[in-house]
Structure 1
């Protein structure tokens, strides 16, 4: 990939010199001329608009001379490189400017195309060093902030100085909104996913024109957590909307970068209330802790009641609608179709709205389920004990509802109908196993939302979308390693996992040995 051209602004009150510089073959030099100015004041206004990489300026000019312009640029746009054009009488000014950070100086009469090429190369190198230093400084600041944030969250008391340190690092204009992003992912995928997530956030942070650049700051606060600080939200609702947009973009970016992990992770977030002063930071940090209820239900609602409920203290039996839900449940249990509708349209939304403690919700369900089975013999089946164990281990409400629905299909044997959308999805997966397959792309082909296809896929197959695709890929990888002379990296590409490191880890987890060892027999 060719390097981005260096943008150059020329500043000189003499038209012949500007014309001479204008005639240089800028594209050949790896640069582009973005503007000209006759004095420092005019140049400063252009810099506000253009923000050039390099300013080549005369020293002696009317209104604002080159030294004044240099000081202005150093103060407002320190990333812009400055080169001074001098007459012999100006040497001491030019030398002073170089000591203060100017890139270089040249004598007007001897400046030629060769000098300009060297200058462009020098500008590019200086910009690269500057960028590396900025990245390093930002990484250091994030690590220090993460350490301090974790200490604040865990310890019982903190000093006003520590709160002020965080506030000054984040605060530009109150209020601030703290958001904790939790990544629900298996340990097998965690390292690769978190590494990619961090790279995406860094890219957005370093992209001058990305619309998120000025919207937030961030730091890792755990092996599956990121803290984001919004600086420009107008209200809590606005902060939650911004978080929703960011989640959607992050998810899409991760799916593009890691298509072989599609459906294997979930991004969840909690948004805190407005922080208007340093002493509010601690309570806000603790209020956005990632609770079991958050992981089970997903994002809490933007209301105090929902946030309180998300802490998981509400008892299902004590809820005002508990008796009504139980009555509807027992009534619906007379017919499997009605019972499935009840799970999807009554029980699920009720549980999601009230966000009960997950363990208490499951225990409540099992009690009422036993009543329903006792009252309606057609609900009994040979694998009741195994199903109970799966229900107790459900990690999310979606998984719990899927298990409820799958339970109804037991005993129907091969006559159970497989939804045509799932059949089509399986066909697409088989045909495109060596390509980047994502839950989003497959759901678009079958005409369902990704959320609904994910749920339906697990109900029908008993496997999540990602587990199903991974199993097929590993089975094909085993077959290729056994029957062909393909190298391991070629096998990885053939089964749609171009990351050699991730493929090796996945294969080892699947078979118990590394692919190189497996190939040796």
Structure 2
């Protein structure tokens, strides 16, 4: 019987591991639990434990510090570490310190419990003692050939399908840290062959035959690389650059060099992100091909995580709907999915098509439509400032007379009518949603004179601002 100590500062994680995993099926028994490294050492001093499972990021004493101490005091104790995707460097250090396995918390969430425990038990039994050596530890096994092949899932919901199952004796797809990253390892009789391509120890499944949720990656010059670290690097690649390298096609594997996987990518600066966000929210790209090409180039070059990119697109849709709701019945919506860069490109194209249909008459050129949309944005962004048609026309590169003509054609109101309507609409919001005094509302909607504001408001609504506020509250 293998006695297990669970160490994690999150009580829910500890309880989940203890209650949900099939310990008895693999000859294991929970000996205890601890909330940090110091408590774990106190427990080890007085209890029998053959397997320690510890989180890496903990207060008081980190998992790495605990592992260093355990290696000195209890050299025969097997240790497996719990990890999140961003713990890449910590996992490497844990392996160097003798951890026999690493368990991704996403695996536990997907309940791959038997796979995890079976692998850990096999490594403990195969090693004889819990402590591993860099030369022969299972996680430190070396990749046997030249090129490595891996399957990466586009989405977290992707599940393995029958086409991923190799023929008997051919080899296996290993997924030690994450079921969405599967590294091909050939059968023992093939390990001496040079894995430089299909048919020489590589997987028999071709890239074009994969299910739509999976993509193949070929890593050149992988011979001798630690299998564990190769899997970790592929996992990190999937979380970062895979999104942008995968353009939606499946005909050929994505080609990488091992040095590309090893390289540290420099994160974009806040200034670069802000400049790109300003360009996105300016909406010039909706009607100007040069601006659109530059926006796409910048977004792709930033290589933001998909979640961050989704946040930018969400802000973009909110801003567009806020500004142009009075001009068009069309509404921008978030993409249903962002599995790869191709999805982003498709959504941006659809956004432009929607905007073009909503922003003016068919006879207006894209450049003119873009100028009118820019003028509408100026009204909303600078509502509290003095705005005049002649100045706005100049800012959007149109003559005053032509600007007045096409603005009404595109928006349905003259510029001055639209400005007045927008200011009064904003004043309505302030009156309903705030307790700000009338003078403050007048100033923040572009009226320096409260009396003039009240008169204009009554012309538009039939009520004075104070009456409007009172009636709404009574309603």
Query: How high is the TM-score relative to the length of structure 1?
Result: 0.32
Query: How high is the TM-score relative to the length of structure 2?
Result: 0.34
Which structure is higher in helix share? 1
